[in-house]
Structure 1
Amino acid sequence: MKRLVAAAIALGIAATGCSGARSASALLPVSGLQFGDGTMSLSRAGAHSTRAPKDAAAAPAGWSSTATQAFSLKNATDLGALDPSKTLTVRLGLQLHNVDALKQAVQSRAKLSPAQIKASYGPTADEVAKVTTYLQSQGLSNVVVEPNNVLISASGSAGAIAKAFNTTLHGFSVNGATVFANTAPAYVPSTLNGIVVAVLGLNDVKTYNVAPRKGTLAINHAPAATSATAPQPESPCAISSVFIVGLPSPQPIPTPQAYTTGCPRNYTPSDYWRAYDVNSSPAASSVNVAIMTEGNPRPAIDAFRINEQGDGLPQVPVVLKQVGLASPDVNPVAIDEWTLDMTASTGMAGAVNTLYVYATTSLTDSDIALMYNHWVTDDLAPIGNSSFGGCEVYQYVDGAMLIDDEVLLEGAAQGQTMFASTGDTGSFCSVGNPNGVPGGAPLMEYPAASPYVVAVGGTTLWSQVDGSYQGESAWNAGGGGVSQFEYSPYWQNGVQPASSTPVGLTFRGLPDVAMDADIQTGMIIYLADQGWTVIGGTSLASPLAAGMWARMLQQHSNVGFAAPALYHAFAVSNPGNKYVGPPPTISVGPFHDVISGSNGAFTATPNYDYTTGLGSVDVDALNAVIGS
């Protein structure tokens, strides 16, 4: 912990109190943060007051600051001013009202409707009118106000947009790609002070990464579209089966061979039921689940259908929800990610009523914010999954963290839960990101760092001879640690280890829970670009947790946002005294408390830790606790 506090001081973290009725999120203000080659003076709009750095410049006369700051990309070449005629789309984030009361609604597990939230907490019609009038006065068009009034989109030339927000826009070359970004903070007229808190879309850097861990099956595939028999495995944990390799015909998946000792192995969805104790908990046949995607996810839906048939699971209705402009992007890595999300979430759930696939235009902060807002305002699915993330510093700097937290808070107050993977680089953000976004210790990944999601870390899962649970260890690449920008939510009080900052505040700890993620114990899956293979990472753990929670909602529809319920279930459980394994694991009520393994800076210990959070879940036991 001393290491983290020292790092926080090095980052220049400074804050005073956060109070008032218009507090938007649990963000920790940062000043003088080194980002790439530049030093930026960060401040937070709304009721969060910040101790400004010595070199902070006041907003120009007649203008007010927003959360959107200038930044410099790592290892990038500045190409000069952006073509002023280039057409851009910006999205303005507006400040919520009465946020403390909205947080209290989450604490009381109220399930408000979007209409109730808009009426009591949303930006007012008068505030919206002031913003739209200003945008139109600056020559911007296609002005669209989202149903909850939190986001307003507008299009215009780069020159007009730079003028409207008193900023500068430059092009950059990063690792062979050309992007643009603002090289000065974004301001709004003083008449919009306290109304507009962030301006998204001033860059087109893809800040989020998708990178599921893929392996190979321990089996020989025949070269033609015929049946093939694998040789007997050398290890009792390997796989042996007969299957069809012709594509695209539906194929039975390889089935694990019986083995005589507990060990790590690969799993099918129904194997996870056995390993995580799904016996009496019903399939989530009445629950809707949503998957967050980018580009064109149709190839992933096709692969998902093959998985359903191969896994022997019912075919669930799929509804594609396009967000913003449709994109032709069919990046194979992303398609594999979306296939995994669909297969693992519905497979763990046993079935769902409808699977909503939200598809946004790109993995930029602006497009992701719009997708989250659609999921919340549609209010069609109480469960969402985001198996992507990026170093939290970026979302803090461009203001997306502030806006996304507002939107996700609204979702939590509606009883919606977003599950998010914590990343596959252990206790550190990945360094040298190909998109030019700087990374490195001790930052966590966003959106997992948001207090209004359930952050899911990773384990290595061992099972008994009959497939039942044996034990888990922390996966060495599972994301976990302490956010440098988000405060701890109340449900982590008394559970999360003390992590005081230099100013006496408490950071959000990650993860909340963990599930299987190790590629050595990953899930057998059909992927469009590989056929049957094995996949892992927290990209697997997060949808597994989402599917687990769907089973809870099938039987207990009034639970509300999952995070407080999970921490409450841990708090009311008797101290663990039942050891299982190997790997050594303690049963604590409905949780498997993982006590071995490390993710780099942190080691698994009894109770909550920064490798696996509360631990993994015994599904039937959690169902019983929530029911009580």
Structure 2
Amino acid sequence: MAAAAALAVASLLVPGAATAATPAPGLVSLHNVLPGLSKATDTGAAPAAAPMHVVVTLQRPDVAGEEAMLDAQRNGRATPMSVGAFVDRFGVPAATADAAKAWLGSTGMRVVSVSAARDQIAADGPASAVSQLFATPIDAFTGQDGRFLANTAEPRVPGDLGITNVVGLNTVQQMHTPHPLPRGPQQSTCATGACTGGTTPADLWSVYEQPAAHTGAGQRVAIFGNGATDGVITDLRAFEKHFGLPNPPVTVKHPAGDTDFADDSGHVEWNIDTQAAHGMAPALGGLDLYFGTDLSDADVAKVFSRYTDDQDSPRQASASYGECESVPVVSGILNNSITNPQPAPPVAQGLGNALDTTLTAITRQAALEGKTIFSSTGDTGSSCPVVSLPVVGAGNGVLNQGVPITNSPASLPYVVGVGGTVLYTDGHGGRAREYGWTFGGGGSSLFTPAPAYQQGTPGLTIPCVTAPTSVCRGIPDVSAQSGDVLGNGYDIVTNGELTDGGGGGTSLSSPLWAGMWARIQSASASAPQGGLGFADFGFYRVGKNPATYARDFHDITPTDLGSGLPSTNGAYPSLPGWDYQTGWGVPRVGGLMCDLAGAC
């Protein structure tokens, strides 16, 4: 079914398709126009003074060298780089960055930040300046998404600056977080049988075989989010008190230029992230909250960049949000069928994003620095979140939408994509049942080739539609408890009240893994020298070896042993070994500590 979907898309690659207009001399076009824009009503030119925020990405000079260094790290021939070493070896030349900054300022834009490697430049300015700079109209629109601004033509940029991407040319495209799960009873209170309801940190220490000798000491976890943090920290302290955990320091870090942090709409999500991560690593040395103003593509890019550029940032982070992966411009027919599905969704949920090129560069740098970003694969099964619709009676905003592309940033090559499982314990910390969540995100990217560490994985078989001889990136890489839409999640505190099982979705699975990876790293003798490096290198190394795989992961079976029903997320079933629903499965942390950290 999945392969058929990919072939159906590939069949749209026909000759004679429409191509972009030739840009003016000296300028090159970037294929960056909001998907689904034709569904909104254009009300004319945007107000000249309307504020806009953009991030421009410059090509780093030696991407092949970066990949070679990553290959050396993967095979144990090199260790993670410091930020300074990365900048010296791979950074954009200062003269190129200075020329790009001068160009940005030529129409009145204000440069607010430049990344350490000088490849990410953020700038603010009025719509009139953005329109002039990128040689595209910026119009105002109304639609199902409300009022927003967007460019109506492909942006054009100087060809000699090496600009590969720009984000922020519209005010509607952004990451999305899922809705919280309803409340249920605690599994630890169940007397017999397979218990439904919420799990506690201690339940997961037992089920995922987390040794008491190593609990995260000396490690920190980063959480990516936006908006207000005071309530999140207050609820974290209440969670810690309830479960008898220490109170590690919490540090809030904002991207340069961001000043408004009043948005509290993601409060529950950030509660899940902080409380899941700390729950899995009770001796954690601290939590760093990298929070922007909002979840717009431009601000998310700034958050990722701030984390990557911090020399002392935690070696593990969690990003529990996403949007459909970028759809490259291949042909007019292909892109119209993918980015304008029928029935027409709101413009903001049209397929594809403008951010992947930028985040690919940032996350590759993070991996070279030995940092691991975990990200939820989404709560829409084998599709990406085109439209957020509630399951009847559940209210979790989850539904498989039938479009066979993946959730980003989880599907980026140097991000660990984390899928979800439904876990039933026996009430005493044992596993009664665990199967792949029906709405857990997973599948094959249609456009991003499998990175070197993933190549040769049994079960990874789906080719890219843009390169049929290449197998494409598959997610998830690993999984952990997500719960289901019935409140079978993780206990969290929100607004000072314990919500049994109220933390769920793959946005729970991701920070659980960030906490468990911190715990694994705390067991490593190399922790003071840079840690274990990018986690997927280790996961695929032990996963491809049958002996270490059995010791390090609990494989999710093709059938839910309790109901007898197949474990599937729509197009993809759970299979022995790695699969497109649950990746390698869920961790046996003690085994991973032994095989990756040498703590046997």
Which amino acid in 2 is paired with 1:501? C
Q: CA deviation at 1:440?
A: 5.2
8 A Cα contact 1:7 1:442, kept in partner: no
The answer to whether structure 1 residue 356 and structure 2 residue 324 are counterparts is no
Which amino acid in 2 is paired with 1:543? P
Name 1:573's counterpart in structure 2: 546
Name 1:507's counterpart in structure 2: 472
Structure 1 residues 262 and 90, CA, compared in 2 at 3 Å: closer, same or farther? closer
C-alpha separation between the residues in 1 aligned to 2:443 and 2:29?
Answer: 31
Matched positions, count: 540
The answer to whether structure 1 residue 625 and structure 2 residue 558 are counterparts is no
Equivalence map 1:271-420=2 (5 Å): 271-323=203-255, 324-332=257-265, 334-379=266-311, 380-393=313-326, 399-420=354-375
Larger relative contact order, structure 1 or 2 (CA cutoff 8 Å, min sep 6): 2
Match of 1:538 among 476, 482, 506: 506
Which amino acid in 1 is paired with 2:57? G
The answer to whether structure 1 residue 486 and structure 2 residue 448 are counterparts is yes
Determine helix, strand or coil for the equivalent of 1:461. Answer: strand
8 A Cα contact 2:483 2:490, kept in partner: no
8 A Cα contact 1:591 1:618, kept in partner: yes
C-alpha separation between the residues in 2 aligned to 1:335 and 1:491?
Answer: 36
C-alpha separation between the residues in 2 aligned to 1:575 and 1:626?
Answer: 10
Which amino acid in 2 is paired with 1:390? E
C-alpha separation between the residues in 2 aligned to 1:306 and 1:441?
Answer: 41
Name 2:346's counterpart in structure 1: none
Name 2:146's counterpart in structure 1: 177
C-alpha separation between the residues in 2 aligned to 1:74 and 1:613?
Answer: 37
8 A Cα contact 1:391 1:439, kept in partner: no
The answer to whether structure 1 residue 461 and structure 2 residue 423 are counterparts is yes
Structure 1 residues 70 and 341, CA, compared in 2 at 3 Å: closer, same or farther? closer
C-alpha separation between the residues in 2 aligned to 1:6 and 1:173?
Answer: 36
Instruction: Select the structure that is richer in strand.
Output: 1
Name 1:444's counterpart in structure 2: 406
C-alpha separation between the residues in 1 aligned to 2:60 and 2:385?
Answer: 33
Deviations 1:202-222 (A, max 9, x none): 11114211114311233xxxx
Percent of residue pairs identical: 30
C-alpha separation between the residues in 2 aligned to 1:414 and 1:425?
Answer: 32
Q: CA deviation at 1:81?
A: 1.6
Name 1:101's counterpart in structure 2: 65
Determine helix, strand or coil for the equivalent of 1:139. Answer: coil
Which amino acid in 2 is paired with 1:467? G
Structure 1 residues 162 and 544, CA, compared in 2 at 3 Å: closer, same or farther? same
Name 2:348's counterpart in structure 1: none
The answer to whether structure 1 residue 130 and structure 2 residue 99 are counterparts is yes
5+ residue gaps, structure 2: 74-78, 330-351, 390-396, 559-566
C-alpha separation between the residues in 2 aligned to 1:530 and 1:73?
Answer: 42
Match of 1:139 among 105, 108, 131: 108
8 A Cα contact 2:324 2:353, kept in partner: no
Structure 1 residues 465 and 90, CA, compared in 2 at 3 Å: closer, same or farther? closer
Match of 1:197 among 148, 157, 164: 164
Equivalence map 1:587-606=2 (5 Å): 588-596=550-558, 597-606=567-576
Equivalence map 1:257-272=2 (5 Å): 257-272=189-204
Match of 1:428 among 383, 398, 407: 383
Determine helix, strand or coil for the equivalent of 2:69. Answer: helix
Which amino acid in 1 is paired with 2:7? A
Q: CA deviation at 1:505?
A: 1.9
Equivalence map 1:608-623=2 (5 Å): 608-623=578-593
C-alpha separation between the residues in 2 aligned to 1:8 and 1:394?
Answer: 12
TM-score (norm 1): 0.81
Structure 1 residues 465 and 176, CA, compared in 2 at 3 Å: closer, same or farther? closer
Which amino acid in 1 is paired with 2:181? K
Which amino acid in 2 is paired with 1:505? S
TM-score (norm 2): 0.85
8 A Cα contact 2:223 2:319, kept in partner: yes
8 A Cα contact 1:317 1:354, kept in partner: yes
Name 1:498's counterpart in structure 2: 461
Name 1:48's counterpart in structure 2: none
Match of 2:535 among 562, 578, 595: 562
Which amino acid in 1 is paired with 2:591? A
5+ residue gaps, structure 1: 15-50, 219-237, 240-255, 577-587
Structure 1 residues 304 and 465, CA, compared in 2 at 3 Å: closer, same or farther? closer
C-alpha separation between the residues in 2 aligned to 1:83 and 1:440?
Answer: 38
Root-mean-square deviation (Å)? 2.4
Deviations 1:260-306 (A, max 9, x none): 22444421112110111112451112001100011112211111111
Which amino acid in 2 is paired with 1:182? N
Equivalence map 1:56-67=2 (5 Å): 56-67=20-31
Q: Could you tell which deviates more after superposition, 356-365 or 78-87?
A: 78-87
Q: CA deviation at 1:176?
A: 5.6
Name 1:81's counterpart in structure 2: 45
Q: CA deviation at 1:420?
A: 0.1
